[in-house]
A = this chain, B = another copy of it.
């Protein structure tokens, strides 16, 4: 193998595939990048047996060939080389020679035949979506994905195509995040649950651009396709929550509040509420709603905290306990100036919604307060 490639192009490819490298593996070959030549391009591949990433780079291939090289070492060396052409050669001793100006590095390689093949996918359904939109939808829901492996289905986000809308939903038993967007083109209804880990990696790779990404779904796999880059991931198996039934549509109490003011209050009060180490990590604060005013308060060994905000209120007075962390996670990703928050009784969840439309809903379950 012998190629000559611009550093910048090569590094862009490496940066995309490096997220698919296995960090904990008993198969050393999975710590590597598979480099394969094909006419006048090279394909970089990484695969951790859950997520596989391929990236194609056009370059000058002087001699065809394949090899696997340690991903971290290869990426660090390329990153630090000067911004110019790099010559990469697999020599007769199976060392990968990297030459650039006065620098010559020779890295040990692994057998490309040992690199596992990425799963083949027969796409049943697919949509096309702008990359920045997908990135945004992931960012606004992924924090609510469950970390608990005992119900694996909730460690992923539901992607649901319904009535030409894409709904992304995450739920962890204490709260739910829903983000909705209209699709530009018509699509058949379908749904799939994509692992949170994959979505985190995808969000590192996709750009804040209007370029589209194609999301294709087969029975057990999803395929994300961009220019030069393909990502394959397994899907999570099982029945996701029927989220439409889970979100109450009626309220007893509703407030309309400035998003930033409320976020600032929670950011301060969590300093007190989270300052004592509780096994259950519930850190509750009490939310009290009277006409025209919300009071958020908590008391523990560290001290007392009370925050008052003047807001417009509708319906009954209310007193209920909540984890401020869940409010903060949701408020941080909301870009609106104001939001509605809807409450039921003091044992019902509350819902953060936009003033207009149905673009998102964040549901938070209450905590029973100790008296």
Chain A positions near chain B (C-beta within 8 angstroms)? 70, 73, 76-77, 80-82, 95, 102-108, 264-265, 267-268, 271-272, 275, 301-310
Q: Give every chain B residue within 8 A of A301 (Cβ-Cβ).
A: 108
Number of identical monomers bound together in the oligomeric complex: 2
- Give me 9 other A-B pairs in contact (C-beta within 8 A), A102-B265, A102-B308, A104-B304 excluded: A73-B271, A76-B271, A80-B268, A95-B303, A103-B268, A103-B306, A104-B307, A108-B301, A108-B302
**Given A80-B264, A81-B268, A267-B80, A106 contacting B275 (CB threshold 8 A):** no
Q: Give every chain B residue within 8 A of A265 (Cβ-Cβ).
A: 102-103
Instruction: Return A102 CB to nearest CB of chain B, in Å.
Output: 4
Q: Give every chain B residue within 8 A of A306 (Cβ-Cβ).
A: 103-105
Q: Give every chain B residue within 8 A of A308 (Cβ-Cβ).
A: 102-103
Q: Give every chain B residue within 8 A of A80 (Cβ-Cβ).
A: 264, 267-268, 271
**Given A73-B275, A275-B73, A305 contacting B105 (CB threshold 8 A):** yes
Q: Are A107 and B303 in contact (CB under 8 A)?
A: yes
How many angstroms between the C-alpha atoms of A93 and B76 in the bound complex? 59
A309 to B, closest residue via Cβ: B102
Q: Give every chain B residue within 8 A of A82 (Cβ-Cβ).
A: 264
Q: Give every chain B residue within 8 A of A77 (Cβ-Cβ).
A: 268, 271-272
Q: Give every chain B residue within 8 A of A264 (Cβ-Cβ).
A: 80, 82
**Given A80-B267, A82-B264, A268-B81, A106 contacting B303 (CB threshold 8 A):** yes
Instruction: Return A274 CB to nearest CB of chain B, in Å.
Output: 11
Instruction: Return A277 CB to nearest CB of chain B, in Å.
Output: 14
How many angstroms between the C-alpha atoms of A1 and B73 in the bound complex? 60
How many angstroms between the C-alpha atoms of A106 and B302 in the bound complex? 8
Instruction: Return A55 CB to nearest CB of chain B, in Å.
Output: 22
